[in-house]
Chain A
Amino acid sequence: MKTMNMQDLHQYLSKYGYTRDGEIYVSVGSKGYWSNIDRDDNKKLISQLQNRSAKEVIQNNNPELYDVIFSPRREAGLELLELSGDETVIDIGCMWGALTVPLSKRARHVIGVEQTRESLELLRARLRDEDITNVTLINQDAKSFPALPDHLKADVIIVNGVLEWLPEVDQVELKRYIGKRNVGHEENLSSPGDMQKEFLKLVFSNLKVGGRLYLAIENRYDYKMFLGLADPHNGLLFTTLLPRGLANLVSQLRLGRPYRNWIYSRTELEKILKETGFPSVSTYVAYPDYRFPEYIENYEGRSTEFRPSKPIPAKTVVKKIKRRFQYFFEYLIFKFMNLRFFFPSFITISKK
């Protein structure tokens, strides 16, 4: 199957009702919002992009997000794909382009799909700042992304930290969501697992034969969850470890909303992907997480190269002890005992 032609893509988008605002194609009725930054703050931030670079704007307004958006450490997982440079890649849930921009340097063309218009404005500014011309941006909810015709199917689709958010409502301001009661509740949504499977079927259908899905997600059984680390998606303790029904009950009691940010074990993840249609799934463990990985290896590997992160200096004795304990515990379970089941994150590469 030949490589996607961008003219064909742009004609398709125009034909099917997407309006165009420069580099951004906007789908009809697109209104979703998911961001670490509240809407009002985002508006102020966007207004500064006219006269300043994206990096300056983030440095001045939200320096805590600088590395999340711009750090080159974010893109290390892409090396697993060994892109040849001829690929068309769709980055679903691209947000501010943490992977979109690095992908533009490795692939022929990248399509960034994102429901939050403000995030795409920042990404557009990044593309302008770095003079990147091989990226098309689409403002659309991932769940309603269309099934593309054959000649527009992708070589690679990226779903990076997105799957667990798909079943949640479309309006999430993260600071007002995590651990907060009575936020983000919609009636009559399908089961999270079903919504995720439907999405993955859509992803499967949008890949060419031989195309690959790169999916990164936290491990439901990350060892830290057993030690009381809060679920980073909702702020609850132990819910990832519970049967879904019990997790739902806990979430209703604590947050007044159902538990919807489903994440998976390795076996569960591979099962869903194979049920979706992928005959071949390679799973990698990522440490300390898939966002800023220091170590990635095949799940079946043997951790001979694994080294836990050195403890960061701490000011209090309690924190020092906790960090040293973490270091030795990780050495024990990952290096010495090779307990891959408890690694913090997974990256899967599934081939159609």
Chain B
Amino acid sequence: MNKCLLRNCVHGSEIYLSKWSCADEVFYIKSSSSSSGIADLHNEIKGYEWYFRARNFGDGKPIKVTKVRADYLRLQIKAFPGEKLPLDASFITYKNIFERIIDHYNIIWGDSEDRPMHGDLSLDNVLVTPDDLFIIDWEHFQYCGAAWGFDLLYLFFETLWFNMRGFAGGKLENELAALSNLFRYLLNVTRISDKSFFTPLADTIAFIKSNREFWGPQLEFSDYKLPVLKYSDEEVLFIDRVLRSRLIND
């Protein structure tokens, strides 16, 4: 058995993530001995179970509790196939995959009235195969009344944030143009309200700041847990203005 510790309490979480593999089997182990870590792992169980029900995977159990005590919890999670996009993936280069993510979200969240939230839907938590997509890492899953599409908007704005860190001059304009096309696709194929696009970035950030408790101590530890919180006020105004004007004018 090959055992590999991948993450040790990153971003202030108190969770250990390991990957165990032998000849024909790969799975991930998530564990914690702290109250906040254990609470997050219970959210993870709920999130995966909701996701698998939404995907009509029947009795398939993606997640197994291998050890539970009041002060320690260990989960074994099936390894899903697929590759991750880079965190700063271009909206132009990867347009088709972003559209697939929108379609996938539309199917899974559908018309659900209970308004669940993934809470950390970034490209680091989406696995892509030629035929399918898997969303992983459900530690922040909540039935919290987030607006429909919140997780999607979060994903786009986090990707844009990473995009912008390496960009200069005109390229940002091209990425914003591509992003506004994706938002138009989002408006056309899903039930997302067009009101979500008046000030989409400002609204996304405002929701997070008003509900910091959903992300627990990790946000107290570092805003880098959710990079969209690192946009400056000027950037937020600029991005919302550009996206709104493109969506109205085009």
A301 at the interface (CB under 8 A from B): yes
Instruction: Tell me the B1-22 residues at the A interface (CB within 8 Å).
Output: 2-9, 14, 16, 18-19
Q: In the complex, which residue of chain A has the Cβ closest to the Cβ of B66?
A: A82
Q: Mark A53-76, 1 if CB is under 8 A from B, else 0.
A: 000000000000000000111011
Asked whether, in the complex, the Cβ of B8 is within 8 Å of the Cβ of A293, the reply is yes
Interface flags, B71-82, vs A, CB<8A=1, else 0: 110100000000
Of A73, A105, A293, A297, which is within 8 A of B72 by CB?
A: A105
Considering residues B8, B14, B71, which has the most beta carbons from chain A within 10 angstroms of its beta carbon?
B8
Across the two chains, which residue of chain A brings its CB closest to B4? A297
**Known A72-B14, A79-B16; contact A284-B3, beta-carbon cutoff 8 A:** yes
Cα distance, A75 to B74, chains bound together (Å): 14
Total interface residues in chain B, CB < 8 Å: 23
Distance in angstroms between the alpha carbons of A301 and B4 in the assembled complex: 9
- Is A187 on the interface with B (CB-CB < 8 A)? no
Any A CB within 8 A of the CB of B29: yes
**A335 part of interface (Cβ distance < 8 Å):** no
Contact with A along B45-81 (1 / 0, CB 8 A): 0000000000000000000000101011010000000
Beta-carbon contact of A79 and B72 below 8 Å? no
Q: For A132, give the chain B residue with the smallest CB separation.
A: B71
Q: Does A3 contact B (CB under 8 A)?
A: no
Contacts of B9 on A, CB cut-off 8 Å?
71-73, 76
Q: How many residues on the A side are at the interface (Cβ–Cβ under 8 A)?
A: 26
Residues of B within 8 A of A298 (CB): 2-4
Asked if B196 lies at the interface with its beta carbon under 8 angstroms from chain A, I say: no
Task: Check: A106 CB closer than 8 A to any chain B CB.
Answer: yes
For the complex, what is the distance from the CA of A305 to the CA of B84, rounded to whole Å? Answer: 13
A102:B5 contact, CB within 8 angstroms? no
Q: Is B181 an interface residue (CB 8 A)?
A: no
* A305-B6 in contact (CB<8A): yes
Q: Are B71 and A105 in contact (CB under 8 A)?
A: yes
List residues 215-245 of chain B with CB under 8 A from any CB of chain A: none
- B34 CB within 8 Å of chain A: yes
* Residue B122 CB within 8 A of the other chain: no
Tell me if A106 and B72 are in contact (CB < 8 A): yes
Q: How far is the CB of A82 from chain B (nearest CB, A)?
A: 8
| CB atoms of B8 and A105 under 8 A apart | no
Nearest residue in B to A76 (C-beta to C-beta)? B8
Residues of A within 8 A of B204 (CB): none
Q: Name the residue of chain A whose CB is nearest to the CB of B29.
A: A79
Contact A79 B5 (CB under 8 A): yes
Nearest A-chain residue to B18, judged by Cβ: A79
Say whether A210 faces chain B, with CB atoms less than 8 Å apart. no
Complex Cα spacing A298 to B3, Å: 6
Q: How far is the CB of A111 from chain B (nearest CB, A)?
A: 19
> Is A293 within 8 A of B34, CB to CB?
no
Residue A296 is within 8 A (CB to CB) of chain B in the complex: yes
Which residues of chain A are near B74, meaning CB under 8 Å? 82
A164 at the interface (CB under 8 A from B): no
B residues in contact with A300, CB < 8 Å: 2
What's the minimum C-beta distance from A307 to chain B, rounded to whole angstroms? 9
A292 within 8 A of B: yes
A72 touches B2 (CB 8 A): no
Point out residues on A near B: beta carbons under 8 Å: 71-73, 75-77, 79-80, 82-85, 102, 105-106, 284, 292-298, 300-301, 305
The 10 A-B residue pairs with the shortest CB-CB distance in the complex, in nearest-first order: A296-B5, A105-B71, A76-B8, A297-B4, A105-B72, A105-B33, A72-B14, A73-B9, A76-B16, A298-B2
- Chain B residues at the A interface, C-beta cutoff of 8 Å: 2-9, 14, 16, 18-19, 29, 31-34, 37, 67, 69, 71-72, 74
Q: Can you list 19 residue pairs at the A/B interface with Cβ under 8 Å?
A: A71-B9, A72-B9, A72-B37, A79-B16, A79-B18, A79-B29, A79-B31, A85-B69, A105-B33, A284-B3, A293-B8, A294-B5, A295-B4, A295-B5, A296-B4, A297-B2, A298-B4, A301-B2, A301-B4
